Amino acid sequence: MRLTLLLPLAALLPVFAGCQMFSAQPSNPNVGTSRLQGELVSSDGQLLFKPCTESRRFVVNDAADLGLSQDVKNLPESASGKVFADLRGTLGGTRTATGDGTLDVTRVYRLEAASGACDDPAFKRLTVHASGENPTWDLKASGKGMVLSREGQPPLALPFVEEQIPGGSLNLSTEANHQQIQVWLAPQRCVDTGSGAIRHLHAELRIDGQTLQGCGYYGGARDN
């Protein structure tokens, strides 16, 4: 009789184990990495990265096979010949003749011709920055609201609601000032049509019956 009772319980053990396995939370891909802003320069066939606030230089390794070297080559050249880079990766390695270590890059937030982006005081406060052309529009979002600027229109300062969509997309929406405004942001490599800069988000602004395309990136107030 005792054996008969134990057998059904034993049969259920694989089921419970399976439920526990599938309920486990996915690991955070950003663990052990840092987000860094700085300048990229090419030297002897290598890319070197110098953080904004440092003099050290790190040899860049495209650890996630992002096509980083080709993207840098394709960017319009700045007057300084340098590229501003907003990257995520892991610093390590030992000092060599060409650098103070290595930077294994796992994500690119933006690449653009160097233009003083290291000194942007608003970056740390922003959660999202998006913009587009034809007509020109620019949106900056932070914990205090968002400011939408459009060609030929006065800037709009508005509260908004943020919704995270499965797959890593975001929706920012507001119905203030008798206007319904939505901004959709999807994780997708995007090239700015005006400057040639590379962003990690495709942006779509819907306002006044129009749908305007653009690119965007996470600001410094968003750590992902």
Instruction: Provide the CATH number for the domain formed by 123-218 in this structure.
Output: 2.40.128
Report the C-alpha gap between 52 and 38 in whole angstroms.
4
Q: Which of 93-97, 178-182, 215-219 has the highest mean pLDDT?
A: 215-219
Q: What is the pTM of this model?
A: 0.84
219 Cβ neighbours under 8 A, 6+ residues apart = 122, 123, 124, 125, 126, 127, 128, 129, 140, 141, 142
- Tell whether the model's pLDDT for residue 80 goes beyond 80: no
pLDDT of residue 2: 42
Q: Over the stretch 35-77, which tens digit does the pLDDT of each residue have?
A: 999 999 888 889 999 999 999 999 999 999 999 999 998 888 7
Look at domain 34-119 and name its CATH class.
mainly beta
Give the number of other Cβ atoms within 10 Å of residue 118's Cβ. 15
14 Cβ neighbours under 8 A, 6+ residues apart = none
CB 72 within 8 A of CB 108: no
Q: Over the stretch 111-121, which tens digit does the pLDDT of each residue have?
A: 998 778 899 99
pLDDT of residue 126: 97
pLDDT of residue 16: 37
- What residue spans define the domains of the chain? 34-119, 123-218
